[in-house]
Structure formats: C-alpha cells, structure tokens
Structure 1
Amino acid sequence: MNPIFLPPPPPFSFIPFPPPSPSAVPPPPLYCPPPPHFLPTISTGIHWNKPPPGFVKLNTDASYKYNCQRSSIAGVCRDEDGIWMFGFSSRVQSGSSFEAELMAVREALKLAWDKGLRRVILESDSESVVNRIRNQTIRQPKNQMEEIILECQRYGSRAWSCFIQHTLREGNFAADALTKKLASESFDLHVWNHPPESLSLILLADMVGMEVPRHGALDKNQIAHLKVMKRELLARNLHWY
C-alpha cells in the first residue's frame, strides 16, 4: 500500500482514549528538558497528561456567572510534547454552567476540525457534559442544550480519530486560567496563536508533569521551582510555549 494514500482514520469515539502499551517507547521530546537539579521534588498527586505520539490534546473549560447569565469559555490545544498549538476564549450567553461547558466543547471540536487536526483527545472537567455527549440519544432537540449536544455528536460522524474524556480539575488548570484571559468584553471568539504570558508557569508545570493534590493547587515551593526553571530555559533560548 502506498503510505501516502492511507485509508481514513476510524470514526469519532466517545470512549476514553486507551492507555498506551507498556512496551511502547515514546519518541524523544522536541524540547530540551532542564538539568535534573532544576526539576522539583514532588509528591504523588494529579497532573496533566501529554497525549500519545501523533495526537493532540484539547482541554476545555468554562466560567459561569449566575447573576448575569454570562459565561466565558476557553480551550487549550497542545501536542504530544506539551507544546502550545493554539487556544481560544470567548464570552458567551448561557443559562447554566453545564450549557457553558457544552459550548466550550463544541467550539473546541469545531476549531480542531477546521484546523485540519485529525487525531484529537478532548478533555473536559465536567463529567456530566462528557457523559451526556457520549451517551444521550437525541433525534429532535427540545432546547438549546440538546442542540449543542447533537452538534457535538455530529462532529463524531466525521472521518477522524477523536476521543472525548473527563479529566479532574487539577489536570485542567491551563484551560481554566484561559477563561479569565479574555481579549475583550465582546462576544467575538479570540484564537490565541501564542499563549498569554500569565499562563507560562502553568504550561511549564504541565510539561514536566508537576503534580498537585486533589482539590489543591501549585504551592509556593513548586511555583518557586518553576520560576527558576523558567529563567534557566529562557537563558538557553528554549521555549515551551
């Protein structure tokens, strides 16, 4: 078979992405890691996981304001080495946090497809949103939320390998931070080709697999380590975002 004309990838799957084989040897990273003495000593906890080789990972999140029914949605796309590919953020009108999370997933799927990405893992920290998209059968939408769910599912009928799965909040810090970095007060979608500087430490923590406890966050010592690592990487003209 001519390798240039491979058959299309399998259709969209709403099952969690299978874990990589223990025997699989990952390719060398595209970035130069910092020296060992710059890596922090960290306890067992939760961290963002890089996608397997050949895939990208899209993390989405939303922030809902009950008093004005306005939300912000955001997403962060990174490659197998944890390098920033793009992000997005926008203000939206939504009736609930659930609807806002759905809108973030829909926008992420649309952008991924439009940008030609065909091997995608999408993560949301809303387990209910993930379950509804995977499991709910909708023939005639009765409201806007069902319309969004159906639209997400229709992306699943396209020819690509796309997996949607739940992640804990502690594995979704980058998308959460981007919901707070809106380019303007308008409802226009903003695509971030380069991440805001304020996300640099979070992205670095994710790249090196820095762990945090459940319901926790990066502590002062971890942030101090990250700042040292950041200075060292910048001094070597190495960029991780």
Structure 2
Amino acid sequence: MHHMTIAIDGPAGSGKSTVAQELAERLGLLYLDTGAMYRAVAWLALQRGVSPQDSSSIVQLMRKSPIHLERTEQGNVEIWVGSNNVTRELRTPEVSNAVSAVSAHPDVRSELTTLQRELSSQHPVVMDGRDIGTVVLPHATVKVFLTASLEERAKRRRREFIESGFSSATEQVAAELAKRDEQDSSRTVAPLKPAQDAHRIDSTGKSVDEVVLEIMTIVEQTLSWRQ
C-alpha cells in the first residue's frame, strides 16, 4: 500500500466524502477531503468579510492564515486555518453557497493543489474532490467518479444540514446543488468531469457499504493487474 493513491471525484452530495473516509479506514490509508480544504478557504473569506469573488484578497488571507491538516490519535484528519480548528464549522449553508465561487479561482486552486500533492507524496491516501483524478493526482492508482441522482443528493445534503442544526427544504437544496453542478462543471480551471480512466459508480439507492465494497473490488483487481 506504500504508493497507493485513490482518487474519488464527483458532484456535491454524491456521498464521496463518506465513502472515501470509510474506504481509507478499511484499507489503512490517510483520508484527505479536499472539498473541506476549499470550504476552509470559503470560511476564512466569510469570517474576514472578503467577497468569494475577490481572488487576490483570498490568496492573501490564505498566506497569512495557512490551511493545514492535523491527524488525531483516533486517525481522523482535522482542518485548521491558522490557529483555528474549523473542522466542525465547514458544513453551514453559508459556506456551502460560497465554496464554488472560491474554488473557481486559479490562484486558490494552485495553492491548495500544491499542498494536496505534497500530502499524497508523504502518505498513501484516499483523496476526494472534483479534480483529483484529472488534475491533482492524474497518475492515481485507482480513479473513481461517484455520482447519484439530483433528488437523492438533495436528500443527503438536507440530512447533513439538519444534523448540523440547520433547516432547509429539499427543493431549495436541490436548486442549490443544481446551481453548484453548473458552476463546478463550467469553470475554466479544473472543471468537474470524470477522468478518462475513471471507474464510474452511480450510488443512487446504494448503501455506503455497497459502494465501498465495489471500490475495494476495483482496487483489488487493479493491484492484481499490476503484479
């Protein structure tokens, strides 16, 4: 597993973070949620009153309060912005609505892509996001593009909001997801799209365990082919 890198991409609400985290635990790899890193940047911009559209100011903020990761004794990865542990503050509706605009800036992406590649060179990882297999880790051992129907993704995201203490109608969440899909897929830099050699998995109606087992089968097959 020393050189193992698994890239899981997909739209918001597809279940990739939950699946990636469970997969990493089962395989004994480091889990890296790149979406949370972009959310941390969005959180920082909102906290400092900087517009999500203001690329240069956001990059300046990132350099003054660098984003870094810390692994807990339990093996979980926490997201820090400067001296602030923001792990539990990244799933608010405000951050969700700002993150797509923040992540569209080439300078922001360049800063975080460098950090993500450094981490993957130091540890065998399961990394999830939107451009992992296409940009961040183009030579990943296994690439997966995980999706689900808009209706199911909206229900999942609404459950996340409720669990975090926020309330939102499923229809409103679906509209916001559709808007984010469009923003993520149409941006000029690192748009959301499957890598040509990615395994596509539709998680609609499937449990986390079913999806994880499906990916583990792909990993086993890939390793056997390389031997």
Return the structure number with greater helix share. 2
Q: TM-score, normalised by structure 1?
A: 0.28
Q: TM-score, normalised by structure 2?
A: 0.30
**CA radius of gyration, larger in:** 1
